Amino acid sequence: MAYPLIGSRFDMSSDISAQLQESVQTAMTQSVPLKIVGGQSKAFYGRAMEGQILSIAGHQGIISYEPSELVITARAGTPLQEISQTLAAQGQCLAFDPPHFGETATWGGTIACGLSGPARPYQGAARDFVLGVKCLNGKGEILRFGGQVMKNVAGYDVSRLMVGALGTLGVLLEISCKVLPLPAEEITLVKPMTSEKEALAQMIFWGNQTVPLTASCFDGEKLLFRLGGIAIQPAQQKIPAEVWNEGNLFWIELREQRLPFFTAAGPPLWRLSVPPTTPPLELSEEKQLIEWGGALRWLRSDLPAETIRAIVAQVGGHATLFRGGDRTSEVFHPLANELEKLHRRLKEQFDPRLILNPRRMAMNW
Binding positions for another protein, 192-221, rule CB under 8 A = 204, 208-210, 212
Q: What are phi and psi of 234, to 5 degrees?
A: -60, -40
For another protein, which is the closer residue by CB, 67 or 98? 67
Q: 235-254 mask for another protein (x: CB under 8 A)?
A: x-------------------
Residue 316 as a binder of another protein (CB under 8 A): the answer is: yes
Q: How far is the CB of 239 from another protein (least distance, A)?
A: 13
Q: Binding string to another protein for residues 16 to 55, with x set by CB under 8 A, is what?
A: ----------------------------------------
Restricted to residues 107-136, the positions that interact with another protein (CB under 8 A) are 114, 120-121, 124-125, 127-128
Question: Does residue number 81 form part of the binding site for another protein (CB under 8 A)?
Answer: no
Residue number with CB closer to another protein (33 or 46): 46
DSSP type of residue 160: H
Q: Does 343 bind another protein (CB under 8 A)?
A: yes
Give the three-class secondary structure for 33.
Answer: coil
Distance CA 242, CA 212 (A): 17
Give the containing element (helix H, strand E) for 296: strand 296-300
Residue closer to another protein by CB (options 26, 263) is: 26
What is the Cα–Cα distance from 353 to 72, expressed in whole angstroms? 33
363 is a site residue for another protein (CB under 8 A) = no
Residue 67 in the binding site for another protein (CB under 8 A) = yes
Stretch that binds another protein, among 5-13, 74-82, 98-106, 344-352 (CB under 8 A): 344-352
Q: How far apart are CA 35 and CA 54, in angstroms?
A: 6
Residue pair 200/297 in contact by the 8 Å Cβ criterion: no
**Alpha-carbon distances, residue 191 vs 198, 221, 223, 245, 252 (angstroms):** 12, 9, 5, 13, 19
Taking CB under 8 A as the rule, does residue 230 contact another protein? Answer: yes
279 scored as a contact of another protein (CB under 8 A): no
Rg, the chain, Cα only: 21
Which of 52/85 has CB closer to another protein? 85
- Whole-angstrom Cα distance, residue 157 to residue 267? 38
The residue type of 221 is E
Residues 148-187 that bind another protein (CB under 8 A): 148-158, 160-161, 163-165, 169, 180-182, 184
CA dist., res. 110 & res. 74, Å (int): 12
